[in-house]
Amino acid sequence: MATPVTERQYQGQVHEHSRRLMNEWMGELGRAEAEGVPTGALMISGNCVELLRACHVLPMFPEVTALQNAIRKKSLPLILKAEQAGYSSDNCAYVKADIGLFLDGGMGPGKPIPFPTITVCNYVGCNVYVKWFEHLADISGSKLFMLDVPFCRTAAPSAADVQYVVAQLKELIALCESVSGKKFDIDELREILAYAARAEEGYARAKELCKRHPAPFDAYFDAINMMGPINVLRGMREGAEFFDAAVAEFEGLVAQGHGPLSEERFRTVVEGPPPYPFYKSFRNLFAKWGAVAVQSTYSTVGGIWEWGFRHDPRRPLESIAEQMLTENLTNRSIVARYAQIKRCVEEWEADALIIHSIKSCRLFSAGQGDMRDYFTRELGVPTLMVESDLEDPRYYAEAQIKNRIDAFFESLEHKKMVGRAAAAGEASNSQGGRAAAAGEASNSQGGRAAAAGEASNSQAGRAAAAGEPTRRRAEASSS
């Protein structure tokens, strides 16, 4: 029987460091109103957080507020409040948790989560963003700025697309100046972008380290500790330093051969956001099989930094526009997502793909059935699909999910065993083959000897044959 897999009881400094920085940011948000600091609501995917920081507008992210409430198991009453107010059960649960927070009195003037001064809807792919931020602007009375980012239709954005976004960024700068009362300084933005690029380099390096066996951290469950700093604190010195420290820690773990579990039995790539209300128990279902995510699409939702893009302080507005256009998961087609996952499976040497389908997020979930078929049938990648929700606990059926995960890994383990046995059989066959070949060689030496014997026999035969006429001639002469 296999040794049970245990979790390494070490969360490292990354976890604590991330928590501290995120708490500091939440503290700043809570004080913003009293201190007269303007705030700007943004979406995570393809955000221009650097620009807001350069404009002295403190960024806030309703998605982060929603997921934090889910992790703390506070999301259901908020969702129910929104549903009572008329939001459909089919709506994105992030939206309902956010609107429910307002209805519940947790967001607004004098609350820990303030109303934003401006609501910047950086529309990248998910059309829920538009309605959500219209509602947010409506309830908060904040100025709504629609930042329309064209869908990514080609591998690289066209010059016209970049200019289109840059023109809107300039309008956004003017709006920020009007609420902050401070003049925008392009050199300050360049400095912020240099910190952003350093953080992006660090995040990419950390992800690269997961190519090692074992991976030093789980690139789905542990990556969440880095997603806060990369999406929220990008452009801050503290964010850049966080990644310097994280990379140093992960390099240390790689050098010691440590992964997040006592044993890495299966390497997976995970598609889709996690079920935040059941984060830990969902993780445990994989951990007990020794399954470690070495890559995930969710960790790239705000930028696929491992593909090499970096903000460029020499082209500040253009590089922000390019990032918003291409470097995020939500602004790409499902086919581009296939290509991303395929590359992750191959380069990170994964054994399987896990799809966590989210009931209330159509952007992520539409097409995942076809995705499973494509990976299973066309590429031969073992693929498991389980369904629940990222925010709404009513859709998480642990017993069913557990059964499917257990059945999947049981069959994967069996496959591995058969593979190992076949490989061992092949090796022994090839040893047998070598022995047979050696036997054949000795046979063929024997053969050569036999052939030589035959030849000598045939010489003898020839001699005999030569003797025969002699004999016959002698017989004839004697007769």
Q: Is the dihedral of CA 433, 435, 436, 438 positive or negative?
A: positive
Nearer to ligand SF4, 61 or 348 (CB): 61
Minimum gap (Å) between residue 273 Cβ and ligand SF4 = 7
Nearer to ligand SF4, 129 or 217 (CB): 129
290 within 8 A of 264, measured Cβ to Cβ: yes
Rounded to 10°, the helix 316-326/159-180 angle is 110
Beta strands 58-60 and 143-148: pairing type?
unpaired
Nearer to ligand SF4, 129 or 145 (CB): 129
Minimum gap (Å) between residue 405 Cβ and ligand SF4 = 23
Nearer to ligand SF4, 319 or 331 (CB): 331
Minimum gap (Å) between residue 42 Cβ and ligand SF4 = 12
Minimum gap (Å) between residue 91 Cβ and ligand SF4 = 9
Minimum gap (Å) between residue 81 Cβ and ligand SF4 = 18
Between the alpha carbon of residue 69 and those of residues 65, 74, 113, 403, the distances in Å are 6, 5, 12, 28
**Contact residues for 103 (Cβ-Cβ < 8 A; gap 6+):** 78, 81, 82, 85
Backbone angles phi, psi at 211, to 5 degrees: -75, -15
Q: Which amino acid is at 396?
A: Y
Minimum gap (Å) between residue 49 Cβ and ligand SF4 = 17
The closest of 73, 114, 76 to 96, measured between CA atoms, is 76
Nearer to ligand SF4, 129 or 243 (CB): 129
Rounded Cα distance between 151 and 379, Å, is 28
Positions touching ligand SF4 (CB under 6 A) are 92, 94, 126, 128-129, 330, 361-364
93 within 8 A of 389, measured Cβ to Cβ: yes
Burial of 11 (0-12, 13-18, 19+ CB in 10 A): middle
Nearer to ligand SF4, 136 or 291 (CB): 136
Minimum gap (Å) between residue 92 Cβ and ligand SF4 = 3
Nearer to ligand SF4, 126 or 169 (CB): 126
385 within 8 A of 370, measured Cβ to Cβ: no
Nearer to ligand SF4, 91 or 140 (CB): 91
Minimum gap (Å) between residue 5 Cβ and ligand SF4 = 31
Rounded Cα distance between 329 and 87, Å, is 26
**Would you give the DSSP letter of residue 83?**
H
Minimum gap (Å) between residue 390 Cβ and ligand SF4 = 6
Rounded Cα distance between 50 and 188, Å, is 10
**Contact residues for 406 (Cβ-Cβ < 8 A; gap 6+):** 285, 289
Nearer to ligand SF4, 25 or 129 (CB): 129
Minimum gap (Å) between residue 64 Cβ and ligand SF4 = 12
Question: Tokens 């040794």 appear where?
Answer: 3
Burial of 352 (0-12, 13-18, 19+ CB in 10 A): buried
Nearer to ligand SF4, 140 or 180 (CB): 140
The reply to whether omega before 214 is within 30° of 0 (cis) is yes
